[in-house]
Amino acid sequence: MSHWQLLDSTDNDEEIINKVIGVFTELYKTHFMDELLVNHHLPIEIRAFRHTDVWCIFLLLTPWTLARFFLPEREPGLKLPPGWLAEERATAPLTVIGPAMPVAILGGREQAHLNYHPKLGHYLIQPLIQSMEQFKTPEEAFHAWNEVIKTRNRVIEEQKKQCNWHKEVSRREFFAKLRKRS
């Protein structure tokens, strides 16, 4: 057993969204509010929330990053590295991006970074955009990511490659009903 600490309940999507927004609002206030390279005009939002495999997956926009977030609904079967048990992380300083871990999802493999927060438990985060200064609105940030996906999909098609994970992510993140919170 890997001893992942899970969120108390992942049954209610609205509760999950509110808890994550609350945690990242708290992180902003305690760690990022005075940072110069943070875009203080951007809100904290969640979009494209869905359940896949053992994960709740969504896009998380913050004033310091746009990231894909993997919150486990049950034990994900990934071994925690040394120093990452909940008891060890509870007293450790904030780690913005933890160690990289492989994630098998929808027949593909991705890399995401392990993180921990006492109110969320263990989770994985995949930074998509780490420089937010140029965006005036959340729509601009999500549009920039959408352009990256369009380019990637075009290159994959030109090379005649098949990637079910990327197709599913593209379809769900940008053609499904978007969920916003701030």
Given this model, what pLDDT does residue 68 score? Answer: 96
Query: 170 - beta bridge partners?
Result: none
pLDDT of 119-168, one tens digit each? 999 999 999 999 999 999 999 999 999 888 888 777 777 776 655 555 55
Supply the mean pLDDT for the chain.
86
Query: Three-class SS of residue 54?
Result: coil
Given this model, what pLDDT does residue 160 score? Answer: 67
Q: Phi and psi at residue 84, in whole multiples of 5°?
A: -115, 15
The tokens for 88 are 């060890």
pTM of the model: 0.84
d(CA 60, CA 69): 7
| Closest alpha carbon to 128 in 105, 107, 152 | 152
The tokens for 36 are 């110069």
pLDDT of 33-72, one tens digit each? 999 999 999 999 999 999 988 999 999 999 999 999 999 9
